[in-house]
Each structure stands twice: as C-alpha cells, then as structure tokens.
Amino acid sequence: MAVFLQSLISGILIGGVYALIGIGLTLIFGVMRVINFAHGDILMVGMYLTYILFTFAGIDPFVSVLISFPLMFIFGGFLQKVFINRVLNAVAQNQILLTIGLGLIMSNTVMLIFTSDYKIITTSYSSSTFQLGGGVSVSWPLLISFLITSAITAVLYWFLLKTDTGQAIRATAQDREAAQLMGINVKRMSIIAFGLGSALAGTAGALISPTYYIFPQVGSTFTLKAFVITVLGGMGSVVGATLGGVLIGITESMSAAYISSGWKDVVVFSLFLLVLLLKPSGLMGKSRT
C-alpha cells in the first residue's frame, strides 16, 4: 500500500509539470492549428534561463519563474510574430519544417554557448523530502513545483474562461474566420497564444531544473512527451492536456515502481495506443468534421 500511495503521489506531482507542458502545446495547436515541434526546445531554453539566473545571479529556480515566465512569453510572442504568423496559411509540412528548424537553431545555439556538458542546479532542498506517514515520503522540490503549477493552471483557466482576451483566444481556436468577424485581431491572439504556450513550457523547464539534468538536447524528450499528453487528452483541449499530463505522470511512476523504470515508456506508449484505439480523438477530444 505504501508503494502504491508513494508512486501515486509522486506521479501526480510530476504530472502537474507534464500538464503545464501539454497545455502549452495544445493552446498553440488549438489557436493556430500549428504543431509546435520546437516545444521541448523552448522548455530547454527555459531550463538554461533558470540555470543562468541561478548560477550568475543566485536566484532560486522556483523564484526565477517570476522572471522566466514573462521572458519566455516575450520570446514565444517574438517567434510567432516574426516566423510562424507567416506560415499560418501554408501547407502542414512547411509549418512542421519551420518549427523543427527553430528547435534545431535553439538547441544548437545553446550548445555553442554552453557546450553539450550536463549542467545541474544543486539547491539546498534538491534531494530533501518529508515524511507523510505510513512510509510515504514526498520530495520538497516536486511538491513546490506542483503547487506553482497548480497556481499557474488555475490562473490560466480563469484567464481563458473569464476575460475578454481569454475568450477571444478560445473563439479564435473554435472558428478563426468567425472570430475575425467579431473584430478579434486573430494575429494578435496567435501571438498571445504562442507567447503563453512558450511561457508555460519555459516555466515547466524552470520547475524541473532542480531535479533534472540540463543539456541542449533535452528538448526532444519533452517534445515527444508533450505530443503524447496532448493527443491523449485531445488535440486543442486544455482540460484534456491537464488530465493527460497527470495521467502520464501517474502511469510513469506506477510502472517504475511495479515493473521497472526502464519499462515506464513502454507502459506509457501502450496506454497511449490503447486510448487512441478506443477513442481516436483523445480523452476530451471532439471528432472533427
């Protein structure tokens, strides 16, 4: 029972960060129908930003979210305005090539500056835990990152559901042309959506940096993970990505505990295939007609 509870709790905690990554990707896809293959690389840039702030300015990784969120928002908005807005009406393969290319440029630029050595951020709490009782222990950095994730997700939901700009983003995702007829500047919405998606990915990068190796190619793992989460939850669905993230987190930690950590990806992808077989549009997805 202790093992079960332990892995359930760890799974939920890490799943929160996964959700953040997935929400970012799904938001971008929902608004622009562009699949962002640079998503993991944007997360990687967020990790290095955290690393720089920690190493050169001594700013705690969790506190640095306050700086990296707006910086990554601006970075994402810039990418959208300068590059991606130009290919919105292009064929899908051109959009894919563009985002893959942007990702390659990011990872190689980082490699040029920092070399491909692994970096780690060691904080006083990096490996500290506390006992929950019953033999279950919770890692402090995971718990803090989960709390930050929850707060950001809550604010994001409020923004999308209650504010005019948030509703305009959803309207653009549901019917771009009709949104234009409402007087919504859809290019601006795209910039905000890509900025938000990047800020969420960058924040996820910051949050995992105390517990994860930082290296220029780390992004590809997360791009793949983000796809699994998003497709599992239903492309374009923010609720689906939240669910998908937590589900993948739990599945990973359960399979690591009960089978072996080497097999966790096998279990995750099997679950993924199973869901797609039973519900091809994803958990919260609507079949598009």
The answer to whether residue 90 forms part of the interface with other proteins (CB under 8 A) is no
Helix intervals (H) in 175-288: 176-181, 186-208, 219-233, 238-258, 264-278
Determine contact, residues 40/103, Cβ cutoff 8 Å. Answer: yes
Q: Which two tokens stand for residue 121?
A: 């951020």
Residues 108-167 that bind other proteins (CB under 8 A): 164, 167
Find the helix packing angle between 238-258 and 2-32, rounded to 10°: 150
CB of 180 to other proteins, least distance (A): 4
**What is the DSSP track for 55-68?**
HHH---TTTTHHHH
Shortest distance, CB of residue 186 to other proteins, whole angstroms?
8
Q: Which amino acid is at 109?
A: T
Q: Is 33 in the site for other proteins (CB under 8 A)?
A: no
Tokens describing residue 229: 């989460």
For residues 93, 166, 204, 41, the Cα torsion angle rounded to the nearest 10 degrees is 20
User: Applying CB under 8 A, which part among 21-29, 45-53, 80-88, 169-177 lies near other proteins?
Assistant: 169-177
Question: Considering beta carbons, is residue 116 or 174 the nearer one to other proteins?
Answer: 174
288 scored as a contact of other proteins (CB under 8 A) = no
β partners of residue 129: 139
The verdict on 174 binding other proteins (CB under 8 A) reads: yes
Residue choice 115, 185, 260, 270 for contact with other proteins (CB under 8 A): 185
For tokens 């991606």, what's the residue?
Answer: 84
**Does 178 contact other proteins by CB under 8 A?**
yes
93 or 164: whose CB is closer to other proteins?
A: 164
Question: With binding defined as CB under 8 A, does residue 181 bind other proteins?
Answer: yes
Using CB under 8 A, list all residues that contact other proteins.
164, 167-168, 170-171, 174-175, 177-186
